[in-house]
Chains A and B, each alone.
Chain A
Amino acid sequence: MQQSEVLERLQGVFDEIFLEKVVVTPELTANDVSEWDSLLHVSLILAVEQEFGIRFRVGEVEGTKNVGELADLIAKRTEKK
């Protein structure tokens, strides 16, 4: 899966989770969104796992710096299947 395709599907997930509109870009970080606190993060990652039918390994998401890297991780995981 291309990063652009993952980002497109991530936009759908973000629209479900955040009350305010958040535009998904590779450079986006949690810091850019006031709603994106620790609690919402748990919910967001869970929704991402469900959307893509994957399960991140322990510590994996912690290593990503922004949404672009998260998308790359998702792409890697979905290819492995």
Chain B
Amino acid sequence: MTLTYEGRFDRPNSMGDTKTVGNALHQAPSESTIQAHETRGLKDLLRDSDSSFVPLLKSKTKEARSFSEVLALNTLRKRASQTNLWPSSKSTLRLAIIGGCSLRPLADLIEHFTIVLGDVNLQLWTGDYDNYISEIMDEDSNLYAFKPELVFVLPSERRCRYTGRLADPLALQEAEANQAVTDILGLIAQIHDRSGASVVVGNFRLPPYFDPGAMRNSGLSSEYAFRKYVNYQIGLNLPAYAHICDIEFLANRLGTVRAFDERTWFESKQPFSTDLMVEVAREFALLAASLKRATKKVIVLDLDNTLWGGVIGDDGLEGIEIGTTSPRGEAYRDFQQTLLEISKRGVLLAVCSKNDHDKAIEPFLKHPEMVLRLSNIVNFKANWEPKSENIRQIALELNLGVDSFVFFDDNPAEIDIVKQFVPEVDAIWLGEDPSTYATTLKDCRHFEMRSVTKEDLERVQLYQQEAKRQELQSTATDMDAYLSSLEMTATISEFTPIDVPRITQLINKSNQFNLTTQRRTEVEVRALISSTDHASFTIRLSDRFGDHGLIAIVVTKIDGAELLIDTWLMSCRVLKRQVEEATLNEIVRVAKERGCERIVGTYKPTAKNGMVRDLYPRLGFAPGDLADETSTYILDVANYSPSKTKIQVAEPAGATI
């Protein structure tokens, strides 16, 4: 016997060409000596029949990214099963894997991940190389004799391509692509009809090579476009008993150059590079586990340096970093936004923070840049008890098992305590850079939507009816209808201490929509808050696509019967949204409140603010003194009737306190 084997080797990830791809995964695999050393630690535990072997192997498997490490862990696990160190699970899964490629060692990786991450006993049957079509079509095949509960099918990627000429008519290309979709869906249906099994279908990688250049995405004749179309159509037409193992996505995430390795195809008909093989196996295992197990239901959150930057107890409402004023503030805001979106899927949010309760709730009540409000939090624990105790208490009060909880904190010590005292909770350390928080949440794999519910389907019908109604009412090019559809809400507020940094930033940064380009320091802005001669306000705007934050600022000076507009500026990204009109409505309201009869607007031209040269006349002001350097315009308060806008004006968050 020689070194010749069917199962062949694969490309190491340390080779030169992967460097050109860049770091596709932030948990990029590394064949470090540390890993090897810890595997050796597992070997020692195994030799000593130490029961801590099992949890250590589980956590190593969760983190493992390299092919050889997963294989080494698989071997260790098999040995542990032989000596009964590995526990037998209560549930068993009968899994069949079939496809148009060599299925080993992929099946061995799948076996390992499914047993370890899915906590099941596995009965595994693998089909022959590229024999899946006859295994499915022949009702007496070994596939059906095995009586699988779940079938993983990997259709032939090489045959998923257009066979005609690159420049054929599109109709021909479409016909062939649709036939490919029909064939695959037909095979999936046959598997289910004949065995009753659920089906997971692997879709197709998109090729990493440049050929055929400009033709790649201009029809379906390139392999790239053909497979992209087939993947998409399979997804759209998938029956409820089938699921997609999204290999297209996994390969893209990894980088397609790294996901392909032609050598292993030529040598042993391996479907993927070793790196992608690991990702596919893990993904399949998580998918299989999720079909049997409920997803997590509750997110428990720390506050300081988790939802905002800084410590509320030390830095106070004005000192914490949240919102669009600073890059860090934006990152925390984005994390909150992601939490809010996940909560809309039905996941509950709870707070567990070492803080004084009254201090801790203040940002939720009063900070204008917070995305999360108290109404989004189902249970709020801010005290000085251990977090492990608090989390158990929250579970008790919500009447949910702690095993449905996920805990996020920036403090590794708190993560450690929760891991130690409430091991059922998945405690996730957010790290030290808030710009990664939202991504960590989106990559944690706990809150993914597995399927569409009946309510979702009803909602779809409702939307369709609504869409029809709107279609009848207006055309898409109608500006008024467009503005209505944005569902804009403006929040108008007097200047507040919290907003001073953002106001100062805008006053010194805005050039285009800025009538006077009057700059001010933070001290001067702060002075405006208490000045009785001035009336100043800010406007925040949000619409159904999200929150634009603080986008307009007005400073006025009251001079007897006249109200002088000292500063009026606005962020250009909300131009033509009727914010100008809404702002003037507010200026007039303030003028009336202060007993002013006339409003005087000033335009000071600069090299950059030409866009607002005609703002005052356009809004109905009469010309006053017109000069090259400074022009004034006058509006009689009594003659002004408020403009109707599509913007709904709301009270600021702090106003109700």
Partner-B contacts on A (CB < 8 A): 16-17, 19, 29-31, 37-47, 49-50, 53, 55-59, 61-62, 64-67, 70
Contact = CB atoms under 8 A, between A and B. Distances in A.
Nearest to B74: A39
Contacts of A45: 8-10
Nearest to B11: A55
What are the 4 tightest A-B residue pairs by CB atom distance, in nearest-first order?
A45-B9, A31-B1, A38-B7, A38-B5
A30 B274 CA distance: 22
Contacts of B43: 19
Contact of B108 (A30, A39, A56): A39
Given A16-B36, A39-B104, A40-B71, A55 B15 contact: yes
B196 interface: no
Contacts of B263: 57-58
Interface residues of B, number: 32
A11 B10 CA distance: 20
Contacts of A16: 36, 39, 72
A31 B5 CA distance: 11
B4 A43 contact: no
A50 B30 CA distance: 11
Interface of B: 1-12, 14-15, 31, 36, 39, 43, 67-68, 71-72, 75-76, 79, 104-105, 108, 263, 266-267, 274
A70 B452 CA distance: 54
Given A39-B108, A43-B67, A46-B274, A66 B266 contact: no
A contact patch SS: helix
A30 B2 contact: yes
A59 B72 CA distance: 25
Contact of A19 (B12, B68, B79, B105): B79
Contacts of B3: 29-30, 41, 61-62, 64-67, 70
A22 B75 CA distance: 16
B2 A66 contact: yes
A48 to B, nearest CB: 8
A25 B544 CA distance: 70
Given A19-B43, A64-B2, A41 B7 contact: yes
A42 B8 contact: yes
A22 B36 CA distance: 17
A39 B9 contact: no
